[in-house]
Amino acid sequence: MTDVLEVSDLAFTYPGAPDATLQGLNLSIREGEIFGLLGPSGCGKSTTQNILMGQIGGYRGDIRIFDQDLAVLGRDYYERIGVSFELPTLYLRLTARENLAFFASLYRSDCIDPIEALKRVDLQDAADQKVGDFSKGMKMRLNLCRAILHDPELLFFDEPTSGQDPSRARITRELILSLKAQGKTIFLTTHNMTEAAQICDRVGFLTRGHIPVVGSPAELMRDYGEGVVEVTRKNGAGFETETFAKDGLGQNAAFLSALDDGFVSVHSKEATLEDVFVSVTGDAT
């Protein structure tokens, strides 16, 4: 699978800051995958995205996107990427339809019809409502419309479900998965570990300026979990749970007996992605 984005030994220090925000960061994102960058607040996730979007210069290291050095990519780069910031960037006095029509005018390529874009995030009924009257969640969904308007190949999403209730957040996740199904490459940052586990093909944990751990959520949750299986059985009016080591389960007489004795549930003790986050970053927030 082709890498759309490759970062080698990236380092960056804000002017006047005593310490580097990024130091020796290495990262690759494959074509057609959803990659989640996870890490504590202030660790440099947004800085990393802003550098990759060409918003911040003065970095050290090598960055290749679409098999070209980021430093030589010109205006055409912005025809090929879509961006949804955590803080929506919209014109509050314009309606949703007017916002999308304006942003569409900035691109040379053909854009999606504004109403069709709004339908994808369930905002079509608010097309002619002023954005200043939108809730935060509605603004976030309109921001997503802006990002996909010109049908870009690579999408940067920063906390894409921020401010959304569970049903709207589900619509956003379904949109992201549908974009992946179309072959888009998606780089997102989020604090929502459950969401990352649900939609990301791979995640990387950013801590102390670099990314020490990368893998699929399933692999990481298994690797950082406990090597045991729990069997719960009914015991009179209540329940009892026994724990067995995973190794040699097929030959473990006690485990096999527990399965024959009217068990209610059997499950392994994988870690959650939140457990992995705390283990890797040392941050429980």
277 lies in some domain:
no
What per-residue confidence (pLDDT) applies to 265? 81
Average pLDDT of the residues in 260-265:
74
Q: Is the pLDDT of residue 192 over 50?
A: yes
CA distance 33 to 181: 9
**Does residue 82 lie within any of the structural domains?**
yes
Domain count, the chain: 2
Task: Tell me what percent of the residues of the chain surpass a pLDDT of 90.
Answer: 70
Q: Tell me: the pLDDT tens digits for 17-59?
A: 999 999 999 999 999 999 999 999 889 999 999 999 999 999 9
pLDDT for residue 97: 97
What's this model's pTM, rounded to 2 decimal places?
0.86
- Whether residue 166 sits in one domain with residue 237: no
206, pLDDT greater than 60: yes
In angstroms, the CA 204 to CA 125 distance is 38
What's the rounded mean pLDDT across residues 125-131?
97
Same domain, 253 and 161: no
What mean pLDDT is reported for the chain? 91
State yes or no: pLDDT of 128 exceeds 50.
yes
- 179 with 241, same domain: the answer is no
pLDDT tens digits, residue range 85-122?
888 889 999 999 999 999 999 999 899 999 999 999 99
The answer for residues whose C-beta is within 8 angstroms of residue 195's C-beta and 6 or more apart is 161, 169, 173
pLDDT of 235 reads 75
**Higher confidence at residue 265 or residue 192?**
192
pLDDT tens readout for residues 230-250: 788 777 777 888 887 777 788
Strands 3-12 and 60-65: antiparallel
Rounded to 5°, angle at Cα 70 from 66 and 155: 55
- The residue range of the domain holding 243 is 226-269
Give the model confidence (pLDDT) of 161-189 as tens digits: 888 889 989 999 999 999 999 999 999 99
Cβ neighbors of 197 (< 8 A, separation 6 or more) are 217, 221, 272, 273
Is the domain of 175 the same as that of 258? no
Residues 60-71: tens digit of each pLDDT: 999 999 999 999
DSSP letter at 238? E
Residue 233 and residue 200 in one domain: no
**pLDDT(269) > 50:** yes
Q: Are 58 and 189 contained in the same domain?
A: yes
96 and 27, same structural domain? yes
212-234 tens-digit pLDDT: 999 999 999 988 887 777 788 77
Same domain, 105 and 160: yes
Which pLDDT score, from 0 to 100, does residue 284 have? 54
**Residue range 135-154, pLDDT digits in tens:** 988 999 999 999 999 999 99
- Residue 77 sits in a domain whose CATH number is 3.40.50.300
Please report the pLDDT score of residue 285 as a whole number.
47
The helix or strand, by DSSP H or E, that contains position 28, with its residue range, turns out to be strand 22-30
| Residue 257 or residue 133, greater confidence | 133
